[in-house]
Amino acid sequence: MSKGNQIHEYALHVREELITAICRVLGAVTGRLASRQDTVPPPNPSIVILRRCCLGDVLSSTPMVDAIRRRYPLARIDYATSAYARPAIEGNPDLSGTIEPRVASLRRGRYDVAITLERSPAAGMLPWLAGIPIRVGPNNLSRGFAHNLRVACPPDRSEAGIALDCAAALGVSTDGARARFCPTDHDEAAAAKLLDDAGLASAQLVAMAPGGGVNPGMSLTGKRWPPNRFAALAERLFEDFGWRTILLGGPGDRPSGQAVAGAAPSSHDFTGGTSFGQMGALIRRCRLFVGNDSSPLHLAAAVGTPFAGIFGPSDPVRHRPFGRGEAVAARIPRSAYRNGFADVDCIEMVTLEEVLGACLRLAGAPGS
């Protein structure tokens, strides 16, 4: 590591330690104040869930939304998120509506309960400043000081699991909770037409998403398994079982999709050519999904398609989707992960045979 990088790493470390120290002081003060407040929701509460970004993170919270709706079938349950992440919950029948994640919007809603699903102290302060009386959220490194129901963040617990723990802190049963994404009738019709036009309407399909890792304010393309391995996997599945691969992703993922399609003649590239809802409808028609740690992986879990998620620098324990599937991860020690990610270029450590094995087990293929 260069001297410049060492200085940058040291500055980040000092900044994190300073934020943690401040939050611990604030937590001690607000903890004493909060203990006097009633944290039992009324019989039919108005609830807001706060997660500003991003698509995969919002999808991973839908099991919690499902549990809360079953506990409070008549409640108003709104979701505060960014316009970028809103497609992840559009059409979700468990939600009453969406709002902007701002203090003014939260205050106008006159909510009884706010469930904040970010570890950021700035996010936790939004419901506090809005005057919402019951505030629930994770308390990692004392950064949940603004919550009056503070939920632990064990290192062996996924983000989806911690969200469920937030619901449990309110006395909500999380048994049987499930991830959910609901493509519209228009999405379903568009997906059917895309497959019909491509001559794939009656094919056995596998969805692959070779891109990902880029969100507003963050770019981590080190999450991407090499395109040539996706291509080799697609060809193996076609040669051995006759399964055709469809490639999916957003507009920014087109180069990855094109690279895979160019090396895998059995595949068909839809990358960048669908809406988020249409992508969900396409994945729902597939017997299997394979992809990097990105929003299409969480989308597969939310529509009920078995998934093989490929993890390199992102922590497979923390970021694993909630659903039926396997996390195929680089073999690096748990100690290498800090705050959910490892500063190691390790995605190529995941082998083709490891991912293929997960695919065969999930699909119940012969020899699995």
**pLDDT digit string, tens, across residues 253-296:** 999 999 999 999 999 999 999 999 999 999 999 999 999 999 99
Tell me if 78 sits within 8 A of 47, measured CB to CB: yes
pLDDT band at 213 (very low <50, low <70, confident <90, very high): confident
| Per-residue pLDDT at 18 | 52
Task: Give residue 70's identity as a one-letter amino acid code.
Answer: R
Asked if residue 153 and residue 101 are part of one domain, the reply reads yes
Average pLDDT, the chain: 91
Q: Indicate whether 20 belongs to any domain.
A: no
Strands 337-338, 341-342: parallel, antiparallel or unpaired by DSSP? antiparallel
Task: Note whether residue 12 is domain-resident.
Answer: no
Q: Average of pLDDT values for 292-316?
A: 97
Q: The tokens of 31 are what?
A: 């903890």
Residue 118 lies in a domain: yes
Residue 312, in any domain of the structure? yes
Tell me, yes or no, whether 115 and 237 share the same domain: no
- Structural domain boundaries enclosing 151: 37-169
Tell me if 238 is assigned to some domain: yes
Give the residue-averaged pLDDT of 122-143.
95
Same domain for 351 and 266: yes
Gap between the Cα atoms of 219 and 273, Å rounded: 22
Residue 13 confidence (pLDDT) above 70 = no
* Residue 23 belongs to some domain of the structure: no
How far, in whole angstroms, is CA 63 from its chain's centroid? 11
Q: Is 56 within 8 Å of 295 (Cβ atoms)?
A: yes
* 155 shares its domain with 203: no
What pLDDT, on the 0 to 100 scale, is given for residue 47? 98
Q: What is the residue-wise DSSP string for 154-210? A: -TTS-HHHHHHHHHHHTT---TT--------HHHHHHHHHHHHHTT-TTS-EEEEE-
The verdict on 233 and 141 lying in the same domain is no
Which of the four pLDDT bands, split at 50, 70 and 90, describes residue 35? very low
For residue 366, give Cα distances in angstroms to 162, 206, 234, 241, 351.
Answer: 37, 16, 17, 9, 20
**What local confidence, expressed as pLDDT, does residue 22 receive?**
52
Is residue 46 over pLDDT 60? yes
Domain match, 297 and 160 both? no
Alpha helices in 74-184 (DSSP H): 103-108, 121-129, 159-169
- Domains of the chain: total: 2
Choose among 33, 16, 18: nearest CA to 128.
33
Identify whether residues 165 and 190 lie together within a single domain: no
The Cα 292–Cα 211 span in angstroms is 7
Cα 217 to Cα 240: distance, rounded to the nearest angstrom: 41
Provide the CA 139 distance to its chain's centre, in angstroms: 19
User: What is the reported pLDDT for 9?
Assistant: 44
Could you give the CA distance from residue 292 to residue 298 in angstroms, rounded to a whole number?
Answer: 10
Instruction: Tell me which DSSP letter residue 314 carries.
Output: B
Asked whether residue 198 is domain-assigned, the answer is yes
> Sign of dihedral through CA atoms 55, 316, 122, 50?
positive
> At a CB cut-off of 8 Å and minimum separation 6, what does 351 contact?
none
Residues 212 and 349 in one domain: yes
Last-in-domain residue among 169, 197, 230: 169
The CATH number given to whatever domain includes residue 349 is 3.40.50.2000
Return the DSSP state at 225: P
- The verdict on 236 and 355 lying in the same domain is yes
- Of 169, 198, 219, the one marking the end of a domain is 169
Rounded Cα–Cα distance for residues 238 and 162 (Å): 39
Q: Are residues 321 and 260 in the same domain?
A: yes
Percent of the chain with pLDDT over 90: 83
**Do 191 and 335 reside in the same domain of the chain?**
yes
Contact 210, 227 (CB under 8 A): yes
Q: Residues 136, 231: one domain?
A: no
CA–CA distance, 123 with 130 (Å, rounded to integer) = 12
Average pLDDT over residues 217-245: 95
How sure is the predictor about 250, in pLDDT bands with cuts at 50, 70 and 90?
very high
Q: Give the tens place of pLDDT for each residue, 85-132.
A: 999 999 999 999 999 999 999 999 999 999 999 999 999 999 999 999
Q: Which residues are bridge partners to 209 per DSSP?
A: 291
The residue behind tokens 């619901």 is 167
Residue 203 lies in a domain: yes
- 122, 142, 169: which is the final residue of a domain? 169
**Which amino acid belongs to residue 220?**
L
